[in-house]
Amino acid sequence: MVREAIARKMTVYCLTEHMPRGPENLYPEELAMGKDQLSHTSPEQTSHYLFQLFDDYYHEALRLREKYADEITILIGMEVDWISPSSQSLIQDLLKKYPLDLFIGSVHHVRSIPIDYSADMFQQAVQECKGTEEKLFEDYFDLQYEMLRALKPPVVGHFDLIRLKSQSPNDSVHRYPEAWEKALRNISFVIEYGGIFEINSAALRKGLTEPYPMADLCDEIASRKGRFVLSDDAHGVDQVGTNYVKVMEFCQQAGIASVTAFQRETMGVTLQSVSVTELWKHPFFLDKSCV
């Protein structure tokens, strides 16, 4: 993935592996990928294996950052998964152990059920929330608010992920008035503490018409002078930088004038506002064979 980022003329790339979670919170695909390692093991052994994987990721990222330092700036981060209040102690322990450049705060579960994996699991979560999508959306934004208050993450991941498996994924959260008000509350809180919203292109490769967050939420963020950062949410080599051209066009249509650029300096990570107009001139977008 790092070599692909270099080939596509990127100058800064942030790696943000998901934090290790307990065996009870793994996705079916994760269980399938680790079936040889996870079969016939106790929950304690499984947890040890998962934490070792994350430790391997961190040290490999350090190696890659040094190896390719002359070609690209690599930031090393983590995407946290806030599942319940009990997530906080684990997350804080990880942040103490690993000197990360940044972390992304995300919610992928409601009532401990993944809401972005499959329609069936989404419907399970709906049933746990009084049988209505509206209540599920409200609970999602309440859980997100809980995460935001506890962690104040530098970057807020896929703000409206809850719509991915919903019956009308391209419709505005506004269709559920209570959920919309909770989303606006969360936006205000993020801006208050200085967090940055990722404009996540993964929504487009998953079939949605707009990235996360969608345009009306971006408009609310921009009107409050909130900040954005580009994210491909890549889980593989073929997803590096995917749909960034469409995301940039979306930014222009949504009235987003600038995005935040991260840079790694001797004293730590620095932030710089870059206009969308200027970003179009970056080598990544000028190289038509890459885009």
pTM comes to 0.93
Tens-digit pLDDT profile for residues 227-238: 999 999 999 999
Residues contacting residue 148 through CB under 8 Å, at least 6 positions apart: 105, 156, 186, 189, 190, 193, 195
213 three-class SS: coil
Amino acid present at 192: E
Place of tokens 């994210």: 231
8-state DSSP, 212 = B
Does an H or E element contain 283, and which? helix 283-286
Please report, in angstroms and rounded to a whole number, the separation of the first and last CA atoms in the chain: 16
Of 45 and 129, the one with more pLDDT: 129
Tens-digit pLDDT profile for residues 178-188: 999 999 999 99
Domains contained in the chain, CATH given = 2-286 (3.20.20.140)
pLDDT, averaged across the chain: 93
Tens-digit pLDDT profile for residues 245-285: 999 999 999 999 999 999 998 888 999 999 999 999 999 99
Tens-digit pLDDT profile for residues 104-140: 999 999 999 999 999 999 999 999 999 999 999 999 9
